[in-house]
Structure 1
Amino acid sequence: MSTDTPSVLIVEDEPDLANLYAAWLESDCDIETAYDGNEALDAIDGTIDVVLLDRRIPGLSGDAVLDTIRDQSLDCRVAMVTAVEPDFDIVELGFDDYLVKPVSKDELVDIIDQLLLRATHDEQLQEFFALASKKALLDDQKTEAERRSSQEYAELEDRMAVLRVQVNDTMRELLEQDGYRQLCQDITRESVFQE
């Protein structure tokens, strides 16, 4: 991931919308745009930090682009930005977050900030945050009865429960290590001196 200006790829088949997103983000990000799935894959070369990906695009679908990104273990975070209402099929998709159009400038900026922050965490925390995002989205979009009757949703909750225990165990182990405790104290002290 880049340490300076984040690199964002906007994958959107409507040029006016892609240009609007680019205009919103260009003061804080290096922007590239792609208007179909094949173009998107050509643009992802290891320098992209965040992909804003529409699900319905010509050529390869957004879902297929996402699968390719994950299959190739490309080091980028992916937010689906789409008019496709989420359904339980999202549980199996490898995105990091999901926004339903229309979206505002603030929503895009916030999601990029969140994804860049998540990218600094280990894989376990990244997976936990991605699952939590999916759960929150489905909680908002689906009724309780729909959620209770969904096998995918039950599996999502089970996976989150397992990860929650693993994350808590990892944190407990780290806190028990004197070196980690000292590192945290050093970081806190450094932050105080910089203010």
Structure 2
Amino acid sequence: MAEYPHALIVEDEPDLANLYAAWLQDACTVETAYDGTQALESIDESIDVVLLDRRMPGLSGDTVLDTIRDRNLDCRVAMVTAVEPDFDIIGMGFDDYLVKPVSKDELLSIIDQLMLRSAYDEQLQEFFALASKKALLDAEKTDAERRSSQEYATLEDRLAVLRTTVDDTMTELLERDVYRRLCKDITRESVVDVDTDSDE
């Protein structure tokens, strides 16, 4: 990463928030917030990544996320939550979604991926966010559930449009092997069609 990222951990269980902070302290500048109100008071232009619990008393993670996006803050947001994903996630403005329990390696990896994504334009960021949602739903939902969801159909349509418009950028990233690192968890879902020879 080009910069030492500034991460905000929003988690209503203080012991868990402090554990996450301890895991990340060597890789990031870390702040913690123990509820949604404190999170919104803490977040500003200096924050690069928010790790956001979804189910909290008072202001929920969903509300905090909406407020972050309404303020047009230029940060990446990963939901870190015990809430199993449903089709409602398609319309949410997060960049990635981790289901608890999560490991130290998972948190470090998601910070790394989100910082890499920040280096690219908005269209590519949208592509990665939507591709992550598709991979998550592909893993969690049956074929029948996906086929019956209008939200999922809209997601696929939007990805198809983005796939054509970001093709040149994808080629450039592949040549530098950055794309493979960014997308290692979603390429297996065949979200992106790329003609390359696999080493595996």
CA distance in 2, matches of 1:70, 1:166: 24
The corresponding residue for 1:53 is 52
Q: Are the structure 2 counterparts of residues 29 and 171 from structure 1 closer, same or farther at C-alpha, using a change threshold of 3 Å?
A: closer
Q: CA RMSD in A?
A: 1.9
Compute the TM-score of the two structures, normalised by the length of structure 2: 0.83
CA distance in 2, matches of 1:22, 1:47: 17
Count of residues paired in the alignment: 174
1:27-83: CA deviations, max 9, x gaps? Answer: 111110001111101111110000000001122110011011111110100000000
Compute the TM-score of the two structures, normalised by the length of structure 1: 0.85
Query: What secondary structure does 2:32 align onto?
Result: strand
CA distance in 2, matches of 1:152, 1:81: 22
CA distance in 2, matches of 1:39, 1:75: 19
The corresponding residue for 2:101 is 102
- Structure 1, unmatched stretches of 5+, are 176-183, 185-195
* Pairs within 5 Å for 1:1-195: 4-168=3-167, 170-171=168-169
Identity within the alignment, %: 75
CA distance in 1, matches of 2:40, 2:97: 19
Measured after TM superposition, the shift of residue 84 of structure 1 is 0.2
Amino acid aligned to 2:138? D
Identify the range of structure 1 (57-66 vs 100-109) with the bigger mean alpha-carbon deviation: 57-66
1:62-108: CA deviations, max 9, x gaps? Answer: 00110111111101000000000000000000000000000000000
CA distance in 2, matches of 1:6, 1:80: 17
- Structure 2, unmatched stretches of 5+, are 176-200
